[in-house]
Structure 1
Amino acid sequence: MSRIDDTQEFIPVRIAVLTVSDTRSLADDRSGDTLVARIEAAGHHLAARDIVTDDREIIADTLRHWIADPEVDVIVSTGGTGLTGRDVTVEAHRDVYEKEIDAFGTVFTIVSMNKIGTSAVQSRATGGVAGGTYLFALPGSTGACKDAWDEILQYQLDYRHRPCNFVEIFPRLDEKQRRK
């Protein structure tokens, strides 16, 4: 359910898109293109975009690089969340998380169940926070990217969404580190 408070001003966030694939390039990255189109249509800024292979260390290093970049607020990856031996995106995300957003995977599963039924059980979509940056790992299908953005992220990344959203707590994500 979307509850947008139109009395509040929209605050664009800077979002990086990472595609994890051994076979895709920017020329044929349909899932990455889907996310970029939705990010820009919503009024947010594309901070960075890259494609990396299904390699846990390379994925984690890319995530760390973007987490350290003050021009990146959110990282959305697509691909590598399944159950096969090459699917290591979730593990790479968890290598860098300070806190996992457990309910993101749960809500994504609920959304997926409504679209693809029990096949939703094969997704390991996840979300977390590190270094004041939100991170989300989505499946590699364009449908899953649409569902995650249209049903979850577009609202949680909109400051006007009520009763709460991810944007309004950005200043508090790294408050523990600032107190040291």
Structure 2
Amino acid sequence: MGRIDETLEFIPCRIAVLTVSDSRGEADDRSGDTLVERLTGAGHILAHRAIVRDERADIAAQLRAWCADPQVDVILSTGGTGLTGRDVTVEAHRDVYEKEIDAFGVVFTQVSFAKIGTSAVQSRACGGVAQGTYLFALPGSPGACRDAWDEILSLQLDYRHRPCNFVEIMPRLDEHLRRK
């Protein structure tokens, strides 16, 4: 299992939080609040926060805008990862991804299964990379956001995590764009 190497310095990431919902506003965005509390509590920087409706084009447009922003390293979205007709967050993410992080969804399902049993099959959490930015689509419940952060993202977004982590390879995510 992984460990934190306390001899290394923590490197904060600049993280944007996107809530996808037709019914939530700033006052009752509990999942967005959970992510903001977790990421800032860990020492990361909240780069942006927004709420968009469950519209594939709108979600993808916001993701692309933040991927193009040099002040954003990571995007966490919450909501719209289920199976209903309005759940289009995963499709919007995949419209933007250059590469998918397949194991993120697998590990998230394992974490969820330990907490909610077979109901974990209803989540389509996913992760990917675009324009040198990490993107993760999380379910819309505060518990799922807590689980994703506490069990996966808090570790992978910590440069001190060993044997490896997302932060240490961040400078190389867009190296294909810089080749001549």
Matches within 5 A, 1:14-29: 14-29=14-29
Matches within 5 A, 1:121-160: 121-160=121-160
User: Which deviations, in whole Å up to 9, do the C-alpha atoms of 1:4-37 show, x marking residues without a partner?
Assistant: 0000000000000000000000110000000000
CA separation in 2, counterparts of 1:157 and 1:131? 17
Would you say 1:78 and 2:78 are equivalent positions? yes
Shift of 1:66: 0.1
Would you say 1:107 and 2:107 are equivalent positions? yes
What is the aligned partner in structure 2 of residue 12 from structure 1? 12
What is the aligned partner in structure 2 of residue 37 from structure 1? 37
> Match of 2:91, as an amino acid?
E
For structure 2, list consecutive stretches of 5 or more residues without a partner in the other structure: none
> Match of 1:87, as an amino acid?
D
User: Which deviations, in whole Å up to 9, do the C-alpha atoms of 1:29-50 show, x marking residues without a partner?
Assistant: 0000000000000000000000
| Identity of matched residues, % | 79
CA separation in 1, counterparts of 2:64 and 2:175? 19
The DSSP-based 3-state class of the residue aligned with 1:137 is strand
What is the aligned partner in structure 2 of residue 167 from structure 1? 167
CA separation in 2, counterparts of 1:97 and 1:36? 23
CA separation in 1, counterparts of 2:147 and 2:42? 15
TM-score by length of 2: 0.99
Shift of 1:72: 0.3
CA separation in 1, counterparts of 2:138 and 2:31? 10
CA separation in 1, counterparts of 2:63 and 2:41? 24
Matches within 5 A, 1:80-99: 80-99=80-99
CA separation in 2, counterparts of 1:73 and 1:149? 16
The DSSP-based 3-state class of the residue aligned with 2:17 is strand
Runs of 4+ residues over 3 Å off in structure 1: none
CA separation in 2, counterparts of 1:89 and 1:136? 10
The DSSP-based 3-state class of the residue aligned with 2:159 is coil
CA separation in 2, counterparts of 1:105 and 1:56? 20
For structure 1, list consecutive stretches of 5 or more residues without a partner in the other structure: none
What is the aligned partner in structure 2 of residue 50 from structure 1? 50
> Match of 1:166, as an amino acid?
F
TM-score by length of 1: 0.99
Number of residue pairs the alignment of both structures matches: 180
CA RMSD of aligned residues (A): 0.5
> Match of 1:175, as an amino acid?
E
Shift of 1:2: 4.2
> Match of 2:42, as an amino acid?
A
